[in-house]
């Protein structure tokens, strides 16, 4: 694709955000005062840490969040809010404090755009156990594309997804937090100049899975119009539980904390509510549950039956994305041989594949122009590791939506930033570039899940101009696709960036 090199813009992207004055908005929720920032010659009003629900603490722990009534006076929206409770472990951690009081959102409003601007709501990923809305900076996308950007927090892990089958712990609290934030957007975004009928939700990994689940939920039908799913679907393995799986996790957690499991749900939850919130940071994944209430009983059946919102969608994945998944699982992809390949397939994909199945996978993924290459099993493993959790579910989801007349775009993102810390053979994997929230050093940062990557995340700031120059074309064109999403046919169209 053509890239226009603009030296002045490149220089500006390596300068801190210039904060000039306060910005004010009066919305149905109340009056807010935020920050006014200059970005690329556009003034962006930034409102941080806006509460959209009662704090889910005390007796509200594990329950669905409740709408916050309008506040009196002026709310100071100039400071990033706390992230929700999660493990703090370096690279994957938010760069803010964590707290159980975390249901806040952030709004980035460009000035000079007509009233009725399109709105893009970002739902972060992190395996439903990490991440924060405020860790992503929406100002650049707002400034360059004239859209209003909203980023949101939602409860994670045990606090967001504990399931007992009762109203006191119904499961899916993290998803209903997202829903409440989207309802807040519907009610309040016109005061920021946005059109509540033009809301696109977009996210990566667990954020994309969340979006896929909102497409299935009857309760979420009227709070957005379009969706972008980046490296995540409702078919993403291990990211959705059955009722029995979710209940088993709740029992195991309770036993590990010494809470009674034989005295009824009320006694169990009383004990769990007495625990310090940090006790709920666990290696066990607590994820959405197909409860047959907020969500249907089976996500695959819902896709096959067409019982989903008929919204235009964009969906896809990234080249070499399996490198990340396998690395997290403890495999050295670089030194892969046939034995390691079999071990990885057994652990990451299936424990039940026989030798014939291994040979079939090996045959399908071998580069037969170079069958004896030293990198044969490295390349096979990286490809399978991406296809299984991301590409195949994305294709299946796209086909299901297209079959029922939905406009669908598919993409593969293969751009490798020039300062990537990944091995030379890895193209787009994850976090190939890092950008701190408060510094403008480049837009496309979180490569796993982010074909568009126009919402920076925390990290190093030395982003080369070669990478910066790629962004206006990529992020601009894809943002416009997000807003319009009108392919020429009812079949899924393809979009590739590399």
**For residue 91, what pLDDT is reported?**
59
Least confidently predicted of 80-84, 109-113, 172-176, 327-331: 327-331
Neighbours of 356 (CB within 10 A): 8
Q: Is the pLDDT of residue 133 over 60?
A: yes
Q: Is the pLDDT of residue 289 over 70?
A: yes
* Residue bearing the bigger pLDDT, 460 or 421: 421
**For residue 456, what pLDDT is reported?**
53
**Per the confidence metrics, is the pTM higher than 0.85?**
no
Lookup: tokens for 165 = 């089958």
Identify the DSSP state of 177. Answer: H
**For residue 495, what pLDDT is reported?**
42
Place of tokens 């300068």: 15
Residue range 445-462: mean pLDDT, rounded: 43
pLDDT bucket at 3, cuts 50 / 70 / 90: very low
Residue range 306-317: mean pLDDT, rounded: 92
Q: What percent of the chain is modeled with pLDDT above 90?
A: 53
**For residue 35, what pLDDT is reported?**
94
Residues 6+ apart with CB under 8 A from 108: 44, 45, 46, 47, 138, 139, 141, 142, 148, 149, 150
Q: Is the pLDDT of residue 434 over 50?
A: no
Return the domain boundaries, the chain: 7-324+395-497, 329-386
Q: Is the pLDDT of residue 5 over 70?
A: no
Q: What are phi and psi of 24, to 5 degrees?
A: -130, 145
Residue range 440-464: mean pLDDT, rounded: 41
**How far is residue 35's CA from residue 368's CA, in Å, rounded to a whole number?**
57
**How far is residue 402's CA from residue 229's CA, in Å, rounded to a whole number?**
15
**For residue 159, what pLDDT is reported?**
97
* Residue bearing the bigger pLDDT, 241 or 429: 241
**How far is residue 201's CA from residue 40's CA, in Å, rounded to a whole number?**
25
Q: What CATH number belongs to 7-324+395-497?
A: 3.40.50.1820
Whole-angstrom Cα Rg for the chain: 22
H-helix segments, 389-497: 392-403, 465-484
Residues 6+ apart with CB under 8 A from 82: 96, 97, 98, 99, 101, 102, 104
pLDDT in tens, 40-55: 888 999 999 999 999 9
In DSSP terms, 45 is beta-bridged to 36, 109
Q: Is the pLDDT of residue 484 over 80?
A: no
**For residue 461, what pLDDT is reported?**
39
């Amino acid at each position: 694709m053509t890239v226009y090199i603009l030296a002045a813009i490149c220089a500006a992207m390596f300068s801190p955000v210039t904060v000039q004055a306060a910005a004010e908005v009066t919305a149905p929720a109340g009056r807010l005062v935020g920050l006014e920032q200059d970005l690329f010659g556009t003034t962006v009003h930034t409102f941080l840490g806006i509460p959209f629900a009662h704090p889910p603490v005390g007796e509200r722990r594990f329950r669905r969040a409740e709408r916050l009534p309008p506040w009196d006076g002026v709310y100071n929206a100039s400071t990033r809010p706390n992230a929700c409770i999660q493990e703090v472990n370096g690279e994957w951690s938010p760069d803010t404090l964590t707290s159980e009081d975390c249901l806040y959102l952030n709004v980035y409003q460009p000035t000079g755009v007509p009233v009725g601007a399109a709105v893009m709501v970002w739902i972060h990923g992190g395996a439903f156990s990490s991440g924060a809305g405020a860790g992503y900076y929406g100002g650049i996308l707002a400034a360059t594309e004239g859209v209003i950007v909203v980023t949101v927090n939602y409860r994670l892990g045990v606090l967001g997804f504990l399931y007992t089958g009762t109203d006191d712990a119904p499961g899916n609290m993290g998803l209903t937090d997202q829903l409440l934030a989207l309802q807040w957007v519907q009610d309040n975004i016109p005061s920021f100049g946005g059109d509540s009928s033009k809301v696109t939700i977009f996210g990566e990994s667990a954020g994309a899975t969340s979006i896929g689940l909102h497409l299935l939920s009857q309760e979420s039908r009227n709070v957005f119009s379009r969706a972008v799913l980046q490296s995540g679907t409702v078919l993403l393995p291990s990211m959705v539980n059955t009722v029995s799986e979710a209940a088993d996790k709740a029992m195991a957690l309770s036993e590990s904390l010494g809470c009674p499991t034989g005295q009824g749900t009320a006694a169990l939850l009383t004990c769990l509510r007495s625990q310090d919130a940090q006790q709920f940071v666990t290696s066990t994944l607590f994820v959405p549950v197909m409860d047959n209430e907020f969500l249907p009983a089976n996500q695959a059946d819902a896709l096959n039956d067409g019982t989903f919102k008929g919204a235009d969608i964009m969906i896809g994945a990234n080249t070499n994305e399996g490198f990340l998944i396998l690395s997290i699982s403890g495999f050295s992809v670089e030194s892969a041989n046939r034995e390691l390949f079999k071990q990885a397939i057994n652990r990451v994909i299936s424990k039940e594949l026989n030798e014939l199945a291994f040979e079939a996978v090996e045959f399908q993924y071998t580069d037969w122009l170079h069958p004896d290459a030293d990198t044969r099993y490295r390349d096979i493993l990286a490809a399978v590791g991406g296809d299984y959790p991301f590409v195949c579910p994305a294709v299946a989801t796209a086909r299901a939506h297209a079959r029922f007349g939905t406009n669908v775009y598919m993409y593969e993102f293969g751009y490798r930033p020039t300062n990537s810390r990944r091995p030379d053979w890895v193209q787009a994997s994850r976090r190939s570039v890092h950008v701190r929230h408060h510094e403008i050093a480049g837009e496309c940062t979180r490569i796993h899940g982010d074909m568009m990557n126009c919402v920076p995340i925390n990290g190093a700031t030395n982003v080369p101009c070669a990478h910066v120059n790629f962004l206006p074309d990529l992020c601009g064109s894809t943002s416009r696709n997000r807003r319009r999403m009108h392919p020429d046919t009812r079949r899924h169209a393809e979009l590739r960036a590399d």
